[in-house]
Amino acid sequence: MSSDIRNRPIITSTSELSFETVFTRYYGLVYQLAYRYVGQSDEADDIAQEVFLRYYRVPPKANSEAEQRAWLCRVATNLGLNVLRSRQRRTNREERVSETVQRIAPEVEAQLNPEQHALADEQAALVRSILAEMPERQQTYIVLRSTGLSYAEIAQATGVATASVGALLARAEREFRRRYHERVTTTGA
Amino acid sequence: MNELRQPEHNDNCLDQSILIARRDDELSAEEAANVEQHLATCGDCAADERLITSGGSQVYTLLSALDPKPGTVPDPIAALAKLNARLKETKPSTKSSRGLQAVPTRKKSSLIWRQLRRNWVAAVAAAILLALLILPNASAIADQFLSLFRVQQFQPVSIDPRDFASHPLPGIQDFGTWQVSPNSLKTQNNLTKAQAQHLLTFPIAQPGNLPQGLRNNPEFAVLKGGLLTFTFSSAKAHAYLVRYGHGNMTIPANLDGARFTVSVTSGVEMSFSSSDKYFIVLEVPSPTIRATGSASLNELRDFMLSLPNLPPQLVTQLRQIDLNSGTIPIPVPPQITAQHISIHGAAGLLLADNTPIGGAVVWQTHGMIYALGGNYGNASQLLTTANSLP
């Protein structure tokens, strides 16, 4: 494949996408997905780097760009969940939530005043802790959906039938809302 | 459709998976028509549908709290350079590219537009930021303390991605920090038109003419406005210059701590989509950029344009833009064609890919920025839709 991309359309029905193109096109998506799981820039970047390193070394057998994108999201999800499992082993849930708030704080400190900072972090920590309590499959469905994946892509990334995605999302959303309202009611947040 | 889709009321009523698929525009045209017909006559299902929509909106609004903060996502080019360095460290490789199997153009373009939809907030901020950082020289006001820049029009600026392969364009995070006002730049999704209108200070203009096949029942989303303040840091700028071997470059003393505020008013996004087609209309009041500290926008711009490794052709193009005109440069890569057009007498740009992938139109009039486009329709259809906005 030529390295000259100057005159090549971004997408044609016959061309291949270079590794560089795939990286620059999907790095943001993979980073965002990883960040949603781990909540820290350095870890999200590490995960994104690892995802593309695996892609580079052993390219997936993808028949379409949608499958490619789904593969990237699946690997990012697995790595993100691995990080969460490691954290869970280190500490109990209350300590973990507290740790997340404390560890995120320096990163956003430069962008928000103390009040905003506290509100944004409280909200993020609450959402993240609710997700952590849910079955992994359920949190995966709504996190993938929240990053803009179609039902077909979610199906590709999680290995379920496309026709089942709607029902699985419905259950996951219902479960998330139930746990959220439970928390808000309990804590008065 | 599958074993998980259990009817809730009776055999004729719709289960939640169908309603949620309707909400996410994942039904076929035939399924959607049947669902709409049922909803029109079944109060229970219509109530469920409203619950699903509002519940989903709540879930995904809450999940948006997990998004990375604006300006914190690493630049992909820099991230790629980091990966390349890691690969070189571990094992030399002759592999320079990987291939994807061919897929239909419309399918791929749909993905691009879906991603664009999610990122349009960032795209707007990036465009403003680009203007802030590399505004062209304007001799007429060179001696003035320029304090206010209001986005009024757009100018295509040719870029070549190869120019940035070895020397990535600097990111804002390399030169300072952002502060974002409370609750600003949050997107509220899955709104009705009435809900969206309630959050806006201008009347929503809905196109009267859409590309063939699209129904005029868009999903509304509102980006809440706010203030973004950028504070220049000489220490960060110096670190950037050292990283690229230009540590002896002088940074004007008054830039350190200088503040620049971008004011954004809430805007609306209307998205029209089907399984592989995407079309969006954006309406947002023209943002303003104000210098509120020790340095002017001119001084910031002059410093940014003096940075090493900026492509000379890009710098030349930017310098030719009159700052007084409130012009935002729009980067245009080689595969995109840009054409000046007029919408209701207002100057705008038509951006189109050389392939039949779609395109976009952007223009400004009466203090409002309008943009629309997608992977659906050709340039003529885009202009027809643009001109159909009231």
* pLDDT 10s digits, B209-264: 888 778 888 889 888 888 888 899 999 889 888 877 788 888 999 999 998 888 88
B76 domain residue, yes or no: no
d(CA A140, nearest CA chain B) in Å? 12
Q: What is the pLDDT of residue B335?
A: 65
**Amino acid, res. B389:** L
Backbone φ/ψ region at A148: left (φ over 0), alpha (ψ -120 to 50), beta: left
Neighbours of B247 (CB within 10 A): 11
Tokens 């304090």 label which residue? B147
ipTM: 0.76
Banded pLDDT at A103 (limits 50, 70, 90): very low
Q: What is the pLDDT of residue B188?
A: 83
Q: Do B180 and A53 touch (CB under 8 A)?
A: no
Residues of chain B with pLDDT under 70: 1-11, 89-172, 274-276, 321-328, 331-335, 353-358, 376-377
Q: What is the DSSP string of B66-133?
A: GSPPTT-SPPHHHHHHHHHHHHHHH--------------HHHHHHHHHHHHHHHHHHHHHHHHHHHHH
Residues B213 and B360 in one domain: yes
Residues B268 and B381 in one domain: yes
Which of B2, B59, B87 lies at the smallest CB-CB distance from A163? B2
Q: Which residue of A has its CA nearest to B109?
A: A11
d(CA A89, nearest CA chain B) in Å? 22
Structural tokens at position A59? 């390219």
Helix (H, G, I), strand (E, B) or coil at B342: strand
Residues B62 and B109 in one domain: no
CB pairs under 8 A between A and B: 228
Banded pLDDT at A22 (limits 50, 70, 90): confident
Cβ neighbors of B54 (< 8 A, separation 6 or more) are: B190
B367 domain residue, yes or no: yes
Which of B62, B97, B99 lies at the smallest CB-CB distance from A127? B62
Helix (H, G, I), strand (E, B) or coil at B303: helix
- Which positions in chain B touch A39 (Cβ < 8 Å)? 66
Residue-averaged pLDDT of chain A: 76
B387 touches chain A (CB under 8 A): no
Distance in angstroms (rounded) separating the CA atoms of residues A170 and B291: 48
Q: Write out the residue range of the structural domain in which residue B60 sits.
A: 1-66
Check: CB of residue B77 under 8 Å from CB of residue B168. yes
Residues B148 and B265 in one domain: yes
Which of B66, B96, B116 is the last residue before a domain boundary?
Answer: B66
Structural tokens at position B378? 């050709």
Which CATH number, 1.10.1740.10, 3.20.10.10, 3.40.50.300, 3.90.1150.10, labels domain A16-90?
Answer: 1.10.1740.10
Q: Do B100 and A56 touch (CB under 8 A)?
A: no
Q: Is the pLDDT of residue A47 over 90?
A: yes
Q: Do B79 and A119 touch (CB under 8 A)?
A: no
Taking Cα atoms as reference points, which of B283, B315, B330 lies closest to residue B153? B330
A16 touches chain B (CB under 8 A): yes
Distance in angstroms (rounded) separating the CA atoms of residues B127 and B371: 13
- Which positions in chain A touch B2 (Cβ < 8 Å)? 161, 163-164, 167
d(CA B89, nearest CA chain A) in Å? 13
Q: Do B26 and A16 touch (CB under 8 A)?
A: no
B364 domain residue, yes or no: yes
Distance in angstroms (rounded) separating the CA atoms of residues B171 and B122: 13
Which of B66, B90, B114 is the last residue before a domain boundary?
Answer: B66
d(CA B271, nearest CA chain A) in Å? 13
B95 domain residue, yes or no: no
Q: What is the pLDDT of residue A44?
A: 93
Q: Which residue of B has its CA nearest to A149?
A: B114
Helix (H, G, I), strand (E, B) or coil at A26: helix
A173 touches chain B (CB under 8 A): yes
pLDDT tens column, B118-141:
444 444 444 544 444 433 322 222
Catalogue the E-assigned strands of chain B: 148-150, 153-158, 176-180, 187-191, 219-223, 226-232, 259-264, 267-273, 278-285, 288-291, 327-332, 336-343, 346-353, 359-365, 368-374
Residues B217 and B309 in one domain: yes
Average pLDDT for A18-42: 89
Which of B19, B44, B66 is the last residue before a domain boundary?
Answer: B66
Which of B2, B76, B103 lies at the smallest CB-CB distance from A167? B2
Which of A31, A146, A170 lies at the smallest CB-CB distance from B74? A31
Residue B38: which H helix or E strand, with range? helix B29-41
Between positions 50 and 69 of B, the ones with CB within 8 A of A are 52, 55-56, 58-60, 62-69
Q: What is the pLDDT of residue B280?
A: 84
d(CA B334, nearest CA chain A) in Å? 6
Q: Do A166 and B20 touch (CB under 8 A)?
A: yes
Neighbours of A95 (CB within 10 A): 11
Q: What is the pLDDT of residue B285?
A: 86
Q: Do B79 and A151 touch (CB under 8 A)?
A: no
Distance in angstroms (rounded) separating the CA atoms of residues B297 and B303: 10
Residue A46: which H helix or E strand, with range? helix A41-57
B21 domain residue, yes or no: yes
B100 touches chain A (CB under 8 A): yes
Which of B83, B104, B178 lies at the smallest CB-CB distance from A49? B83
Which of B77, B177, B182 lies at the smallest CB-CB distance from A110? B177
Distance in angstroms (rounded) separating the CA atoms of residues B356 and B365: 28
Residues B168 and B47 in one domain: no
Q: What is the pLDDT of residue A138?
A: 92
Q: How far is CA B258 from CA B91, B293, B296, in A?
A: 45, 5, 8
Higher pLDDT, residue B117 or A76 = A76
Cβ neighbors of A79 (< 8 A, separation 6 or more) are: A34, A47, A50, A51
Residues B15 and B138 in one domain: no
Between positions 90 and 149 of A, the ones with CB within 8 A of B are 107-108, 110-113, 115-116, 119-120, 123-124, 127-128, 142-143, 145-148
Q: Give chain B's end-to-end CA distance (angstroms, integer).
A: 42
Structural tokens at position A49? 């780097």
Average pLDDT for A149-169: 88
Neighbours of B216 (CB within 10 A): 11
